[in-house]
Amino acid sequence: MAYSDKVREIYKEQLKDIENAGIFKQERFIHSTQAADIEVEYPAGSSLKKVINMCANNYLGLSSHPEVVKAAHEGLDSRGYGMSSVRFICGTQDIHNELEKKVSEFLGTENTILFPSCMDANAGVFEAILGSEDVMISDRLVHASIIDGIRLCSAERDTFKHSNMEHLEKKLQLHADKRLKVVITDGVFSMDGDCAKLDEMVALCAKYDAMLFVDESHASGFIGKTGRGTHEKYGVLGKIDIITTTFGKALGGASGGCVSGRKELVEICRQKARPYLFSNTIAPVVVSGVLKVLDILSRSTERRDKLEKNTEYWRKGLTEAGFVLKEGDTPIVPVMLFNAKLAQDVSRDLYEEGIYAIGFFFPVVSKGQARIRTQISAGHEIHHLDKALVAFNKVGKKYDILGKTKQAILDRYGQ
């Protein structure tokens, strides 16, 4: 069918529905590097505004760290700009191999395979390692990219209630007769900032002869005493069969991801995972940057320690101000507003005060669970956090939500 007026109308209609629902996503243009202080053009065409970024995945403040930028430059000079090939034809350099070894060392795994992104790692891994005699049992709040990967795989699908170990055990019993069983979870859940109970999950998987898959995108580099991830925090290093993670968040924030874990599984991915076989290799400049990031993190825990301190300071400040927070101890700190419009209004007013933090509401989170998700970074200094706390206090007062319970906010604003 030609791209007729009728076709155009169908799409315009859909876009209008999105707008009417109040969830049309407007791009904001950042004119600076990614850091605690950024310059933003928003809405498009308006003059630049200096704001403090409270919503990047730049947990360790490495996105524009001078050492990382320098290493990337050196990589660019010595290995060039692009490889113009997928990995298995002629897209593998010595540094790709070196990075796979370094990532395995860092995560405490047997082997690692790089993917263009963690989205691609999640999209490719299940189909590569499972077949129709097998089952995938996933937490109901796993990341969208895992859901897509599960959809692409012919194994049977089942879920368990979020972090509910009794329910998971029931499902493991239900599927006892399957050839292979994989339990699937995020290490740190991106919307609530809570951690999967990996110690209990490892024990359950051992009891019922299942493999454990953990997506560590919001954990690698800073969760656990030396930042290895959620498996370090729960004392189960070396016991996770399949880890996926991204280099697009704490680990420099550029792009790329991987599957890391048991060596046979990784080898199967090298033979069969479609995004590995059919999508271009990670650019040398990015590989060089990530190598430097791992080098920095292996030298010292200074950055993840600072992140932990910043997070404590931030949580304490917001709690004292009287906001309702999601409980937890990760640098994902959701400020609960419950009502979608309220979340948007608070976000807009914070922006006016020079604080950049985004409102999340249905369908990204459930109805009645609207929030501002703040994310803390080792790139924040106390003066950033203090300024942000002043702004949150001012805006919280304006909407009369300080010291109010969830029910009181819901009574006043509705879902």
Ligand X SMILES: *Cc1c(COP(=O)(O)O)cnc(C)c1O
Structure tokens belonging to residue 284: 């040398």
Q: Which of 65, 96, 102, 218 is flagged as catalytic?
A: 218
Distance in Å, CB of 173 to ligand X, minimum: 27
Write the burial class of residue 262 (CB in 10 Å: 0-12 exposed, 13-18 middle, 19+ buried). middle
The DSSP symbol for 195 reads B
**Stretch of 112-120, 222-230, 267-275, 368-376 lying at the interface with ligand X (CB under 6 A):** 112-120
Q: With contact defined as beta carbons under 8 Å apart, do 136 and 158 qualify? A: yes
Q: Which of 248, 284, 334, 379 binds ligand X (CB under 6 A)?
A: 248
**Stretch of 93-101, 211-219, 329-337, 361-369 lying at the interface with ligand X (CB under 6 A):** 211-219
Cα separation, 324 vs 46, whole angstroms: 33
Q: 10 Å Cβ neighbour count for 41? A: 15
Q: Tell me if 257 contacts ligand X by CB under 6 A.
A: yes
Q: Tell me if 217 contacts ligand X by CB under 6 A.
A: yes
Q: Which of 163, 190, 330, 369 binds ligand X (CB under 6 A)?
A: 190
Q: Tell me if 198 contacts ligand X by CB under 6 A.
A: no
- Which backbone phi and psi does 37 adopt, to 5 degrees? -100, 120
Distance in Å, CB of 214 to ligand X, minimum: 10
Q: Which of 53, 58, 111, 117 binds ligand X (CB under 6 A)?
A: 117
Distance in Å, CB of 113 to ligand X, minimum: 14
Q: Tell me the CA distances in angstroms from 229 to 7, 36, 223, 251, one per residue in order.
A: 47, 23, 5, 12
Q: 10 Å Cβ neighbour count for 157? A: 15
Structure tokens belonging to residue 81: 């700009």
Nearer to ligand X among residue 178 and residue 228 (C-beta) = 228
Q: Tell me if 215 contacts ligand X by CB under 6 A.
A: yes
| Number of residues counted as binding ligand X (CB under 6 A) | 14
70 is an active site residue: no
Structure tokens belonging to residue 71: 């290493």
Nearer to ligand X among residue 211 and residue 251 (C-beta) = 251
Write the burial class of residue 167 (CB in 10 Å: 0-12 exposed, 13-18 middle, 19+ buried). middle
49 is an active site residue: no
Q: Tell me the CA distances in angstroms from 44 to 29, 36, 358, one per residue in order.
A: 7, 21, 17
Q: Tell me if 260 contacts ligand X by CB under 6 A.
A: no
Q: Tell me if 311 contacts ligand X by CB under 6 A.
A: no
Write the burial class of residue 321 (CB in 10 Å: 0-12 exposed, 13-18 middle, 19+ buried). middle
398 is an active site residue: no
Distance in Å, CB of 271 to ligand X, minimum: 22
Q: Tell me if 186 contacts ligand X by CB under 6 A.
A: yes
Length of the chain: 415
Residues that bind ligand X in the complex, under the rule CB under 6 A: 117-119, 122, 143, 145, 186, 190, 215, 217-218, 246, 248, 257
Q: Which residues are catalytic?
A: 190, 218, 249
